[in-house]
Amino acid sequence: AQSVAQPEDQVNVAEGNPLTVKCTYSVSGNPYLFWYVQYPNRGLQFLLKYITGDNLVKGSYGFEAEFNKSQTSFHLKKPSALVSDSALYFCAVRDISTGKLIFGQGTTLQVKP
Amino acid sequence: EAQVTQNPRYLITVTGKKLTVTCSQNMNHEYMSWYRQDPGLGLRQIYYSMNVEVTDKGDVPEGYKVSRKEKRNFPLILESPSPNQTSLYFCASSFGTGGVGDTQYFGPGTRLTVL
């Protein structure tokens, strides 16, 4: 069965520092991976995805993610965090038979001034 | 503006009173889906539709119904809501029939409380 794990419930970082939100996956076959962000009282917004090709994927709002096949990871990164990046982040893997996204449990990112 | 809309955004109801949450997209997407979000569980798929008149169960379909009579609309129906259906619900759509590269776009969410 396919699954995604986000090992940290919360990540705290100071503004201006680099941030990493971790995600590991378990799939049979090729992984198709996504990151979404949810701001308070808002829907999910797409950040980036990995389908194939370059292991470093660049997305919206200065975020990027590194796909690592040997470690089965897809960590979200940003070189310099902003207070406005504070939100709930979800990693997901696509189930190709049904099209559904299988989500991790989410990681709350708190960026402090 | 390309978007997925849901109504209502907030709903408080009582056990057993039938309700419908509407979902509409204006992007001519073929694939539509409903998820529910619960703390610590992430989002779980309830139902999905790959095209008009084609619907299928997701991971947690019990207590829910859907229909897809038009391409743009995908309502979620709770015939007899129960307190364990208190949750945050999201509708999503994507261009293709759930192809691997398709990005799913999400609505703003409907917060449902069943008393």
**With contact defined as beta carbons under 8 Å apart, do A92 and A101 qualify?**
yes
Three-state SS for B81?
coil
Nearest to B108 among A42, A46, A101 (CB): A42
Bridge partners of residue B101, in order along the sequence: none
Q: How confident is the model at residue B102 (pLDDT cuts 50, 70, 90)?
A: confident
CA atoms within 13 A on the CB side of A46: 18
Q: How confident is the model at residue A22 (pLDDT cuts 50, 70, 90)?
A: very high
- A100·B45 Cβ contact <8 A: yes
**Whole-number pLDDT of residue B100:** 66
For A89, the closest chain B residue by CA position comes to: B42
Partners of residue A105 in chain B, C-beta under 8 Å: 40-42
Mean pLDDT, chain B, integer: 93
Q: How confident is the model at residue B79 (pLDDT cuts 50, 70, 90)?
A: very high
Quote the CA–CA distance of B33 and B98 in Å, as a whole number. 10
Q: How confident is the model at residue B98 (pLDDT cuts 50, 70, 90)?
A: low
**With contact defined as beta carbons under 8 Å apart, do B32 and B23 qualify?**
yes
pLDDT tens by residue, A60-108: 999 999 999 999 999 999 999 999 999 999 999 988 777 788 999 999 9
Query: Which helix (H) or strand (E) is B30 found in, with range?
Result: none
Residue B62 DSSP label: T
Which tokens go with A26?
A: 């378990």
Nearest to B42 among A45, A49, A105 (CB): A105
